[in-house]
A and B are shown apart, each in its own frame.
Chain A
Amino acid sequence: MELLVLSFVILVLSGLCALFSRRFSFLSASCGPIGAVAASLCGLAAAIPALSSAPQTLALPWSLPGASFSLKLDQLSAFFLLPLFALCICAAVYSLRYVDKRRSESFFLFNLLAASMALVLTASNAVLFLVAWEVMTLVSFLFVVWDGADGESRQAGWTYLVATHIGTAFLLILFTLAWSRAGSAEFDAFPKAFQTLPFGAVAALAVLGFGTKAGFFPLHVWLPKAHPAAPSHISALMSGIMIKTGLYGILRMLTFCPPVPQWFGWLLIGIGIVSGVLGILLALGQHDIKKFLAYSSVENMGVIALGFGLGYAAQAQGRADIALLAFAGAFLHVLNHSLFKGLLFMAAGSVAHATGTRDMEKLGGLLRLMPVTGTCFLAGAAAISALPPFNGFISELLIYLGAFKSLPGSGPNALAGLAALTALAIIGALAAACFARAFGTAFLGLPRSAAAEHAHESPRQMTIPLVLLALLCLGIGALPSFFGRPAFTAAAALLNIQTQVPLPAMLFSAGWAGLSLAAVALALWLGRNLLFSGKKISSMPTWGCGYAAPTPRMQYTASSFAQPLLSAFGLNLKVKLEPVSGLFPRQAGFRSDAQDMARTRIYKPLFELVEDKLGLLRKIQHGSIHAYILYIAVALAFALGWALL
């Protein structure tokens, strides 16, 4: 616990140092990231032992009503802290060279963001939690509008602020209800309060409130706008950790109201299927490389929700063995997704940094120019597509096992398991297609524009974090019996199993299978090289069907690649076509976009309706300061009158 507090202190102090060092030199602000690395190491040193020990608490008084500065570090918090601090180290190192303007402010806010997220994960008082939650939201909002010159990022910031505060409003209701029933805002008093509330209400408020942060479909609309707009190391933190805090919130609330009924498990499975399938389909339609990654985060949150849903459904049926597998898979996927999504966002940031564009249709051939970044992106792509021997495969394997094991016997759980695993299969295949497409168009083939032609490899400070994350992805995939331990501990804690659970033997075998696969591939590679020794190897242009003057612009584009897949799944691209016409045609154009059905079908009509109905209220808002003061006076008089009555 002391180490955790120490890490908070270091984060804030080094952030302040960075903020006030702007006058001195370009380098002096670097104390921010260096402090972040040190604090993260401290935090890891606090979190890793906490995984296997009894919960530690700390309570300090605070003058706000109901509030106290009380922290609790139990297995659930500790598990979520792992990816937070691991990713913070990498993002901080990456930011040293990535951030080139307003460094002091950026580093300060980065540390503040890290500290607020750690506080959200460990706060044990509702007021403290909400304060940390709000700081986290506001700081990330500042990052979303960081490059706020263009209207797009302003709009993204606006959407983000509105969406996330609507979510927070639900949380306020939930916490106020609990507070008024329990008479205390301490989380420790909440279980008693939740017993007097209907579970449906608690679940609905938690899912709506925290689900907005977690990016569940259709509450995700802010996510694909806000994440790409932020600087890339912040996108990595937002997609890697911040959306997981929403999930953490749901899990935390559920620990207050056991037993979780079966229907809630099915609800989570449903949310997971919808978020997963639609998220990955929408990702497939994007050609902005960061937007595409943001949609893929929606998909991965879906997979995680699916895992937890399977776990709760099995737990309610008394099948702790299945629940353990599903929970462990979901927890491991939380960790894995932080690692590979962080990696991918930072690699995409390097690409945008080197080429000046995030549009996949303008990239190409970057693997030759940026070999390290490209290879790391490839590793991340394989990992997120759940391909062996990477880590994504292990976590999805565990979730699959949870689904498969709930099949025997009939009844709704079997059908839920079937639905879950069918959805996982579709998601898996589409994710592989999606990431093959992204890597293929951005890094393979030939450069499609001058910007991509003149790209350069990023400096070492930006590549080392990527390599580190890629190695972690590979390591977890190859040694799941070692890295899977924390996930199983957290899962056991969620199931209230106090003893050390044995790891399933399949975890070891799966790792061994991945390793032997790598060994076979290596052997084949050596054999291939042996076959080639002494043979004639020549180089020719790609076969172009006999066409004599091919240009790089003729390569298959990302949109063309996605089109058959999208239309087969009933999602049509919105195509804008300026056709070629006349004898001397002017320049023609073609553009396609995948439209988010949540935006066009749900929010747009909804907000138009609201705007329509609330248009009358505009009359009140006319800019006259006298009238505004009058409103305030009337409100005050009303409040006073209320109090007197």
Chain B
Amino acid sequence: MTALADFLIALALAPLLPGIINRVKAFFAGRQGQSPFQLYYDLLKLLRKGAVYSTCATYVFRLGPVIGLAAMLGALAVMPGGSGDALHNFDGGIIFFAYLLALARFAAILAALDTGSSFEGMGASREALYSALAEPPLFVALAMLVKTTGGLSFEAAFPDAALLGGTPRLLAAAALFLVFLAENCRIPTDDPNTHLELTMMHEVMVLDHSGPDFAFISYGAALKMWVLGALTARFLLPFGPGFELRQEALFLAAMFAIALLTGVVESCMARLRLNRVPAMLLAALALSFAAFVTA
């Protein structure tokens, strides 16, 4: 029951994270900025619209956003929120989680290639590169969790994470935050605000999507940010199972703090050169490896 409540909270609040990031960036730039609820308005508007399809698009293009969103809903179902329970739990849930992210990416890459646009192909290629490099730090961080707790699902592993010292958890959380930035296409790997097709990555892959399809993609991206944020946050907040108001509040505060931090990073940093991004993700790997050996 509490798991369902957490699931619904995530569904409802996920679009708030990009809003917060935008607000922080606006603050740093000295602007008023858009409302933090902007994504909700956008989603509602997009859902009411029709769509334009490329003449060469097949069913793969139409299926892409649907699969992507379904995968994110699945990932959310195995990731416990503030209450410590998740909707679906089984030994290997952590692996299922990682492969759902891969499934969403696979669908997005294929949808991008289906348009026949060279820009979208370029974006797809870079997305594939970053995700391939982001996978090892994620798995090593998960390995650290399993090494100490023995739990093979998030629900089983997170409560025992309290056994870990503070430093390994902090290291792993730092590594996961870097993975969070790369997977969600934020600065310093990708710039969501860029307006030149050549330099876009995630944004260019979805150029041809419109209407409800694009709403699915934007919502899926918000959910992805939520689940990866939750993963990072729960490394730092090892709650037990069951519902507690204090835990719930702490968890949500942590989620918003991560959004805040992302906004600050985006405002203070420039994007890395394409061939320096691997170094950043390798550093994340070194961090999570350090977490593993010190845990």
Q: Which A residues lie within 8 Å of B274 (CB)? A: 564
Q: Which B residues lie within 8 Å of A378 (CB)? A: 60, 110
A644 at the interface (CB under 8 A from B): no
The segment out of B9-17, B27-35, B51-59, B252-260 that lies at the interface is B51-59
Cβ–Cβ contact A521 & B124, under 8 A? no
B117 at the interface (CB under 8 A from A): yes
Cβ–Cβ contact A425 & B139, under 8 A? yes
B138 at the interface (CB under 8 A from A): yes
A513-B90, A538-B50 are contacts. A520–B122 as well, Cβ < 8 Å? no
Q: Which B residues lie within 8 Å of A368 (CB)? A: 58
Cβ–Cβ contact A429 & B132, under 8 A? yes
Q: Which B residues lie within 8 Å of A432 (CB)? A: 102, 105-106, 128
* Residues from 534 to 590 in A contacting B, C-beta threshold 8 Å: 535-545, 552, 554-557, 560-565, 567-568
A414 at the interface (CB under 8 A from B): yes
Cβ–Cβ contact B69 & A436, under 8 A? no
Q: From B149, which residue of chain A is reached at the shortest CB distance?
A: A408
A382 at the interface (CB under 8 A from B): yes
Q: Which A residues lie within 8 Å of B150 (CB)? A: 408
B92 at the interface (CB under 8 A from A): yes
Q: Which B residues lie within 8 Å of A475 (CB)? A: none
B274 to chain A, nearest CB (A): 7
A493 to chain B, nearest CB (A): 23
Q: Which B residues lie within 8 Å of A171 (CB)? A: none
The segment out of B140-148, B168-176, B224-232, B243-251 that lies at the interface is B140-148
**Which residue of A539, A542, A561 contacts B125 across the interface (Cβ within 8 Å)?**
A561
Contact with A along B107-143 (1 / 0, CB 8 A): 0011011111111111011101101110110111011
A385 at the interface (CB under 8 A from B): yes
* Residues from 500 to 550 in A contacting B, C-beta threshold 8 Å: 504-506, 509-510, 512-513, 516-517, 520-521, 524-525, 528, 531-532, 535-545
B192 at the interface (CB under 8 A from A): no
Give Cα distance in the complex from A32 to B129, angstroms.
Answer: 47
| A contact patch SS | helix
Q: From B59, which residue of chain A is reached at the shortest CB distance?
A: A367
Q: From A393, which residue of chain B is reached at the shortest CB distance?
A: B99
Give Cα distance in the complex from A367 to B278, angstroms.
Answer: 34
Q: Which B residues lie within 8 Å of A424 (CB)? A: 139
The segment out of B18-26, B210-218, B262-270 that lies at the interface is B210-218
B278 to chain A, nearest CB (A): 5
On chain B, the number of residues with a Cβ less than 8 Å from chain A's Cβ atoms is 80
Give Cα distance in the complex from A528 to B92, angstroms.
Answer: 31
Give Cα distance in the complex from A159 to B37, angstroms.
Answer: 64
* Residues from 66 to 104 in B contacting A, C-beta threshold 8 Å: 66-67, 69-71, 73-74, 78, 88-92, 94-96, 98-100, 102-103
A440-B110, A524-B216, A537-B50 are contacts. A401–B92 as well, Cβ < 8 Å? yes
A404 at the interface (CB under 8 A from B): yes
Q: Which B residues lie within 8 Å of A380 (CB)? A: none
Give Cα distance in the complex from A390 to B236, angstroms.
Answer: 34
Q: Which B residues lie within 8 Å of A525 (CB)? A: 63, 66
A388-B96, A397-B96 are contacts. A430–B54 as well, Cβ < 8 Å? no
A439 at the interface (CB under 8 A from B): yes
A94 at the interface (CB under 8 A from B): no
* Residues from 248 to 299 in A contacting B, C-beta threshold 8 Å: none
Q: Which B residues lie within 8 Å of A104 (CB)? A: none
Cβ–Cβ contact B99 & A536, under 8 A? no
Cβ–Cβ contact B106 & A385, under 8 A? yes
Cβ–Cβ contact B121 & A513, under 8 A? no
Cβ–Cβ contact A428 & B99, under 8 A? yes
B180 at the interface (CB under 8 A from A): no
Cβ–Cβ contact A517 & B70, under 8 A? yes
Cβ–Cβ contact B50 & A513, under 8 A? no
Give Cα distance in the complex from A521 to B95, angstroms.
Answer: 20
A421 at the interface (CB under 8 A from B): yes
A488 at the interface (CB under 8 A from B): no
A422-B139, A528-B216 are contacts. A408–B146 as well, Cβ < 8 Å? yes
Cβ–Cβ contact A418 & B129, under 8 A? no
Cβ–Cβ contact A444 & B116, under 8 A? yes
Cβ–Cβ contact A565 & B125, under 8 A? yes
Give Cα distance in the complex from A564 to B128, angstroms.
Answer: 9
B162 at the interface (CB under 8 A from A): no
Give Cα distance in the complex from A552 to B278, angstroms.
Answer: 32
B198 to chain A, nearest CB (A): 8
Please name 22 pairs of A and B residues whose Cβ atoms are closer than 8 Å in the assembled complex, sorted by A.
Answer: A388-B74, A396-B95, A404-B152, A405-B152, A421-B139, A425-B138, A436-B109, A444-B113, A445-B113, A446-B116, A516-B74, A521-B70, A528-B216, A532-B212, A535-B51, A535-B211, A539-B54, A541-B55, A543-B207, A556-B117, A556-B118, A568-B133
| Interface positions of A (Cβ within 8 A of B) | 364-365, 367-368, 378, 382, 385-388, 393, 396-397, 400-401, 404-405, 407-408, 414, 417-418, 421-422, 424-426, 428-430, 432-433, 436-437, 439-441, 444-446, 504-506, 509-510, 512-513, 516-517, 520-521, 524-525, 528, 531-532, 535-545, 552, 554-557, 560-565, 567-568
| Interface positions of B (Cβ within 8 A of A) | 47, 49-56, 58, 60, 63, 65-67, 69-71, 73-74, 78, 88-92, 94-96, 98-100, 102-103, 105-106, 109-110, 112-122, 124-126, 128-129, 131-133, 135-136, 138-140, 142-143, 146-148, 150, 152, 197, 207-208, 211-213, 216, 274-275, 278, 292
Task: Name 13 extra pairs, CB < 8 A, besides A537-B53, A552-B116.
Answer: A378-B60, A400-B95, A405-B146, A408-B146, A422-B139, A426-B132, A433-B128, A437-B113, A506-B90, A510-B96, A537-B51, A539-B55, A542-B117
